[in-house]
Structure 1
Amino acid sequence: MGFSQGHFVIQNKKQTDKIQFKLINNLIILPVEINGVALSFLLDTGVNKSIIFNFLNITDTLQIKNTETIFLRGLGEGDAIKALKSKGNILKVGDAININQELFAVYDPNLNFAPRLGVPLHGIIGYDLFKDFVVEINYTSKYIKLTSPAVYKYKTCRSCETLNMEFYKNKPYIYSTVKIKDKQVPVKLLIDSGGSDALWLFEDDSLGIHVDNIYFEDFLGHGLTGSVYGKRTKIEEFSIKHFKLQQVNVSFPYPESLIYVKQHKDRNGSIAGNLLKRFNLIVNYPNKTITFKKNRHFHDRFDYNKSGIELEQNAVRLVKEKDYNYISSGDFLGSENNPSKTSVVINTKYTLALKPAYSIVELRADSPAHKVGLMVGDIVLSINNKSTDKYTLQEVTQMFYDKHGQRIKLEVERDGVELTFVFYLEDIFMP
């Protein structure tokens, strides 16, 4: 592993700090400060460069220095994206600070993951933070703990499993096992905390890694250079030493999305957020080890979106709200002239407020939502008779993960016309 640029140091005597994060769609969203400006970053073990984007409307005080133009590649079907390499930035995560942080600033407005998450997101950080610390990731209490390797002490844990990590281009890999068609297959997987799925596998018939049973074609997510599509299915079992998980969600991305990532020919896929969150982790890049300890999410069912709808918070809409103005005459406790009566006038007014608008941006063919006539571009006004402005994007999306047969009623706006659709969630993997 290389250490060419600046290092993080923790600015307190204990050489350790705990930072709370938000867990959105199985992704860790972390508060980060760059050149004095408070931002939100995705903590992503799958990236080896710190990238900043979606910042043009924040402030000029970021002072991103344009030093060198480069092109970045990653997951997705699109072309490489243009970025400006900037050195000498001050980056803080809690009490950890790096005064010579290298950043890759992307000005392309299309690289914006915030609408899919429903929360602000200004960049991605991975290797640059992990390389200098022992990092504990507690998915249940939603915090990371950064500790200087010189003072970190491991606690005895008989229920933990510690694995060695291998690195390729500063990205961590582990060996584990998948069970497909009753066959145990050893696989080398990228540890990818920046992915929201459970498991990605790359089809390889020579190894027995392929879609064996029922599947459906779907949008899998956004990569650095575009959208990723593939097949969703389940595998019988996934194992990390003695930890075994059954009926695990797995996605098989189409090859056209993997041209760049397949440069590492030994890689068989990725272990991502929906699987990682079932453990609390100790990630030790300096020692090249990772420790897994199962948490209360370990036995959670592997669910998936049964509606066929992908939503995005990409606009706002005007919502009429009640505004109560209380006008009182006299004293509520009475007065000398009017000891027992007090008149209160309640004047109800309506105001217009801007609320987030959730629109359909992906619609799976032959899904329940598609079959009843919903379309890409529809703006969802209400779900099950309750206005969507009462929910976060994550709360609305979570309703699509409900049980088989659950009734969903959507009121949408299409070309200025309000329409109502009813469909029932469908679990194609039910026996």
Structure 2
Amino acid sequence: MTYRKLLFSLILVFKFLDFAQAQVPGFFMKEAARKVRIPFYSSNSLIILPVSINGKGSINFLVDTGVRSNILFSKTLGDALGLEYTRRLSIAGADGSTVIMAQVSPINTLDMGPIEGRLQSLLVLEEDFFELESVIGVPVYGIIGYEFFKFNPVKINYDEGFIDFYRENSIKWKPPFYRKLDLAIEENKAYITAKINQKNGPKLEAKLLIDTGANHGLLLNQETSDAIKMPPVYIESQLGQSLGGVLYGFIGRVNSLKLKNLSMREVLTSYPERNTFSEIIVATGRQGSLGSEVLGRTRLILDYPKKRALVRKGENFYAPFEFDMSGLVLRKIPNDDNRIYVSEVRAGSPAYKTGILPFDEILTLNKVPIFLYELSDVFKMLRSEEGKEIQLEMRRYQGNDLTNYNDYKVSIFLKKQI
């Protein structure tokens, strides 16, 4: 073969590869490179990225390895973006009992700057769901799931707040200081095996879902194994907000969680209540999941094509796991300027003893107007130091009349409950 024929053949091959890539749903670099870097906003180690849909505007999406499909939380927003729908379906809420109706928009482009999601399907919720903002503290309009990870290694640097998105097969060896974990990809979700030393039960070797979109640390589903035992000390609490409503259960601790030879101690652990979704969890063969409270303490590479996770210690790997010491479950009013209210007060807690009630609104925290705080900063303060005094100015409305209220002041002294 002559040099000219060889060059012509190579050009045809590369053009075919470019054409084939353009026809396959997935996320791809816009320009040829070994890697590109995307900064993200982090709230309690949840990963939030601005995304443009079909070239229109830019809205916040949560990057979530725990879901198969991309989701847009609002059909109102989808209609405004001019999305086209091909079919209607129902999806089960995470509480196992709520049925949520959604429209399927099958072909969309999701632009993240140097990365582009091509031929992306979106599940668009018919009933607007903006409850994540009330928990996270910033507006989030959707979720990006498996598609973002399926072709390319993705390195998450929680300490500095960026993602490195690598060309396929560009990480051929294990980088220095990283430990390799086998990654199982099942039904478009990623699982690893970890060792757990319980306080009140046998040692476990547990199959755990990697769930970057969950704000817990370790979660164990008791219905999946008789070996999972509740610790001797635990409290009943809300575990998080999800599609379908608030999840309830218990919070305790395990002695240790070991990923390869990286060991975390006294890890906060969620034990959700059994529900109608439990059968589906049991069918996956998993015993629980790892959320952002654990993952956010690491430097993490998820390499779905090679079925491996690479992990090393982050800057706060050894920081103690602390739970809220006030007894206040707080929420932000969605689409408002940092107005924070009390969703729930745990019985017997320091806040409960001061007489604070659900739906009371916080006006100032330690004499600083509450709108100057991010919700995540308030959470950190309420789990910061046992014995610390937290001064609150509160407002209690009378019924639904927002012009009729009483303001009052209280002090809470933080106390560990677990």
Do both proteins adopt the same fold according to a TM-score greater than 0.5, normalized to the shorter chain?
A: yes
State the 1:369 CA deviation: 1.0
State the 1:184 CA deviation: 2.0
Change beyond 3 A, Cα 1:78–1:26: farther
Aligned to 1:418: 407
* Cα distance in structure 1, aligned partners of 2:66 and 2:335: 32
Q: TM-score, normalised by structure 2?
A: 0.87
**More strand, by proportion:** 1
Within the candidate set 160, 179, 190, 2:178 is matched to: 160
> Any stretches of 5+ residues in structure 2 without a counterpart?
1-22, 398-404
Q: TM-score, normalised by structure 1?
A: 0.85
Q: What amino acid maps onto 2:66 in structure 1?
A: G
- Cα deviations across residues 206-230 of structure 1 (Å, max 9, x unaligned)? 6421112110000000122211011
State the 1:26 CA deviation: 2.0
Aligned residue for 1:113, secondary structure, equals helix
* Cα distance in structure 1, aligned partners of 2:266 and 2:361: 34
Q: What amino acid maps onto 2:65 in structure 1?
A: T
Within the candidate set 242, 246, 256, 1:237 is matched to: 256
**Aligned 8 A contact 1:115 1:314 in 2:** yes
Within the candidate set 373, 397, 401, 2:379 is matched to: 397
Aligned to 1:23: 42
Within the candidate set 98, 118, 129, 1:99 is matched to: 118
State the 1:148 CA deviation: 1.8
Matched ranges for 1:350-369 at <5 A? 355-369=337-351
Provide the identity percentage.
29
Aligned to 2:197: 179
Aligned residue for 1:426, secondary structure, equals coil
Change beyond 3 A, Cα 1:273–1:315: closer
**Aligned 8 A contact 1:22 1:30 in 2:** yes
**Aligned 8 A contact 2:155 2:299 in 1:** yes
Aligned residue for 1:56, secondary structure, equals helix
**Aligned 8 A contact 2:338 2:373 in 1:** no
Within the candidate set 366, 381, 392, 1:384 is matched to: 366
Q: What amino acid maps onto 1:9 in structure 2?
A: F
State the 1:261 CA deviation: 4.5
State the 1:66 CA deviation: 2.0
- CA-based RMSD of the aligned residues comes to 2.1
**Aligned 8 A contact 1:315 1:358 in 2:** no
**Aligned 8 A contact 2:224 2:287 in 1:** no
Aligned to 1:343: none
Aligned to 2:136: 117
- Cα deviations across residues 21-64 of structure 1 (Å, max 9, x unaligned)? 0110221111212111211111110000000114736982x211
Change beyond 3 A, Cα 1:107–1:226: same
* Cα distance in structure 1, aligned partners of 2:276 and 2:347: 20
* Cα distance in structure 2, aligned partners of 1:373 and 1:283: 47
- Cα deviations across residues 145-177 of structure 1 (Å, max 9, x unaligned)? 1112143444542x3211111122111111111
- Range that drifts further, 364-373 or 132-141: 364-373
Q: What amino acid maps onto 2:25 in structure 1?
A: G
State the 1:371 CA deviation: 2.2
> Any stretches of 5+ residues in structure 1 without a counterpart?
318-354
**More helix, by proportion:** 2
Aligned to 1:39: 59
Change beyond 3 A, Cα 1:315–1:273: closer
* Cα distance in structure 2, aligned partners of 1:192 and 1:156: 23
Alignment pair present for 1:295 and 2:277: no
Aligned to 2:71: 51
**Aligned 8 A contact 2:195 2:257 in 1:** yes
- Cα deviations across residues 409-428 of structure 1 (Å, max 9, x unaligned)? 21111111101122211102
**Aligned 8 A contact 2:131 2:241 in 1:** no
Within the candidate set 88, 92, 110, 1:73 is matched to: 92
Change beyond 3 A, Cα 1:170–1:265: closer
Q: What amino acid maps onto 1:307 in structure 2?
A: S
Aligned to 1:350: none
**Aligned 8 A contact 2:74 2:128 in 1:** yes
Aligned to 1:251: 270
Aligned to 2:15: none
Change beyond 3 A, Cα 1:40–1:257: farther
**Aligned 8 A contact 1:74 1:260 in 2:** no
State the 1:106 CA deviation: 0.9
Aligned to 1:6: 25
Q: What amino acid maps onto 1:237 in structure 2?
A: S
Q: What amino acid maps onto 2:231 in structure 1?
A: D
Aligned to 1:372: 354
* Cα distance in structure 2, aligned partners of 1:189 and 1:152: 24
Change beyond 3 A, Cα 1:368–1:258: farther
**Aligned 8 A contact 2:133 2:334 in 1:** no
Aligned residue for 1:149, secondary structure, equals coil
Aligned to 1:86: 105
Equivalent pairs, count: 387
**Aligned 8 A contact 2:239 2:270 in 1:** yes
Q: What amino acid maps onto 1:360 in structure 2?
A: V
Structure (1 or 2) with the larger CA radius of gyration? 1
* Cα distance in structure 2, aligned partners of 1:77 and 1:385: 42
Aligned residue for 2:351, secondary structure, equals helix
Q: What amino acid maps onto 1:41 in structure 2?
A: F
Q: What amino acid maps onto 2:73 in structure 1?
A: F
**Aligned 8 A contact 1:73 1:260 in 2:** no
State the 1:133 CA deviation: 1.0
State the 1:99 CA deviation: 3.0
Aligned residue for 2:322, secondary structure, equals coil
* Cα distance in structure 2, aligned partners of 1:110 and 1:137: 27
Q: What amino acid maps onto 1:49 in structure 2?
A: S
Q: What amino acid maps onto 2:368 in structure 1?
A: K
